[in-house]
């Protein structure tokens, strides 16, 4: 029996391994794409060791070793600039983290709206801003808050102010403004996930709590809120891991000569000195440091998550 079975098994195995190889061949084009646009660019990090001039190419550029990294910590003006940029980056990130609890509250309160139609309208219209680009957000900001915009006109007509307030072309409260625009764009969308989580809560829980005499506020506080905490914790950890990644669209579009000091976050700074100011190598050195720190942060947060929650976030 055994003798007879063995060759058959081998045949099956061979067929399986042949199928597996074919499947592999099928996805090779995609693997190449992933390689080209994710792994291959890493070779660019060596540009941080050169004084790279695009006109000369890498072979014609001077090898300068760690000059750019030393520059980051030796020149006084450079240090001051970096400190300001880091302050902005952390300010935006921490404001983002501080306001990340708001979508939870939004979802809990919206869940208390019993009128289905109203709830749908609210949900649709509050998630809409998430789906427009920052260019459009800026256009809206421009048409409402410029010196001749609607808000200034209304305030002047109401006699509250005489001179138009410069909301956009000034450096007052830049961090707060950016945070508020972020909130306008993301609040409704951020709540969707929590609303989905709420719909997954066992109704029995509410029923039995009601029998025990809990009112509406007790239910929100002691059932809905705790049920959302695991999701919130994951989101919180992800945003900590993304501390340095503010993205640049928003800040690039809102930046102008007036607010530059306080709006320049790390991503935007890399763009401004790299493609705007043509210090390609310095910008590469910076973004390389940023990538390394980000990955480390993610690893640390993931480790913490394993310790605290017992499961990883990535």
Segment interacting with another protein, rule: CB under 8 A, options 2-10, 78-86, 122-130, 257-265: 122-130
Q: How far apart are CA 143 and CA 146, in angstroms?
A: 6
Residue placing its CB nearer to another protein in the complex, 44 or 225: 44
Q: How far apart are CA 69 and CA 302, in angstroms?
A: 28
Residue placing its CB nearer to another protein in the complex, 76 or 309: 309
Residue placing its CB nearer to another protein in the complex, 23 or 73: 23
**Positive or negative, the Cα torsion across 202, 312, 232, 309?**
positive
Q: Does 252 bind another protein (CB under 8 A)?
A: yes
Residue placing its CB nearer to another protein in the complex, 120 or 261: 120
Maximum pairwise Cα distance, the chain: 100
Q: Does 112 bind another protein (CB under 8 A)?
A: yes
Residue placing its CB nearer to another protein in the complex, 66 or 275: 275
- The contacts of residue 187 (CB under 8 Å, 6+ apart) are 102, 103, 106, 126
Strand locations in the chain, DSSP E?
50-51, 62-63
Segment interacting with another protein, rule: CB under 8 A, options 3-11, 62-70, 108-116, 159-167: 108-116
Q: Within 180-219, which residues bind another protein (CB under 8 A)?
A: 184, 187-188, 192-193, 195-197, 199-200, 207, 210-211, 213, 215-217
Residue 128: CB minimum distance to another protein, A: 6
β-strands 62-63, 50-51 pairing: antiparallel
Select from 75, 101, 142, 202 the one that contacts another protein (CB under 8 A): 142
Q: Does 231 bind another protein (CB under 8 A)?
A: yes
Residue 54 backbone phi and psi in degrees, to 5: -55, -35
Residue 51 backbone phi and psi in degrees, to 5: -95, 80
Q: Does 305 bind another protein (CB under 8 A)?
A: no
Binding mask 38-77 for another protein (x = CB under 8 A): xxxxxxxx-x------------------------------
Residue placing its CB nearer to another protein in the complex, 3 or 37: 37
At 50, list the tokens. Answer: 């050169």
HSE-CB at 74 with a 13 A cutoff on CA atoms is: 6
Select from 88, 89, 255, 284 the one that contacts another protein (CB under 8 A): 284
Q: How far apart are CA 82 and CA 34, in angstroms?
A: 33
- Burial (CB count within 10 angstroms: exposed 0-12, middle 13-18, buried 19+), residue 43: exposed
Q: How many residues does the chain have?
A: 314
Residue 1: CB minimum distance to another protein, A: 26
Residue 126: CB minimum distance to another protein, A: 5
Select from 253, 258, 260, 304 the one that contacts another protein (CB under 8 A): 253
């Amino acid at each position: 029996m055994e003798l007879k079975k063995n060759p058959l098994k081998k045949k099956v195995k061979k067929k399986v391994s042949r199928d597996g190889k074919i499947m592999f061949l099928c996805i090779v084009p995609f693997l190449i794409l992933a390689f080209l646009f994710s792994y291959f660019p890493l070779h660019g990090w060596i540009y941080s060791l050169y004084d790279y001039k695009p006109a000369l190419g890498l072979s014609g550029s001077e090898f300068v070793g760690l000059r750019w990294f030393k520059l980051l910590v030796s020149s006084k003006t450079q240090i001051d600039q970096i400190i300001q940029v880091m302050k902005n980056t952390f300010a935006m990130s921490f404001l983002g983290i501080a306001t990340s609890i708001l979508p939870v509250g939004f979802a809990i309160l919206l869940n208390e709206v019993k009128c289905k139609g109203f709830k749908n309208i609210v949900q649709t219209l509050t998630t809409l801003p998430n789906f427009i680009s920052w260019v459009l957000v800026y256009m809206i900001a421009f048409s409402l808050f410029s010196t001749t915009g609607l808000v200034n006109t209304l305030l002047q007509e109401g006699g509250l102010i005489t001179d138009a307030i410069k909301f956009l072309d000034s450096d007052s409260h830049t961090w707060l403004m950016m945070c508020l625009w972020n909130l306008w764009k993301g609040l409704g969308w951020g709540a969707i996930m929590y609303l989905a989580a709420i719909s997954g809560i066992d109704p029995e829980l509410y029923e039995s709590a009601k029998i025990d005499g809990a009112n509406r506020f007790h239910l929100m506080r002691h059932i809905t809120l705790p049920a959302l905490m695991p999701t919130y914790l994951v989101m919180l950890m992800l945003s900590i891991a993304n501390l340095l990644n503010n993205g640049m669209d928003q800040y690039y579009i809102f930046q102008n000569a007036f607010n530059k000091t306080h709006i320049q976050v790390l991503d935007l700074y890399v763009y401004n000195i790299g493609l705007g100011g043509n210090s390609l190598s310095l910008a590469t050195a910076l973004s390389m440091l940023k990538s390394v720190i980000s990955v480390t942060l993610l690893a640390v947060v993931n480790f913490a998550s394993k310790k605290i929650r017992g499961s990883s976030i990535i």
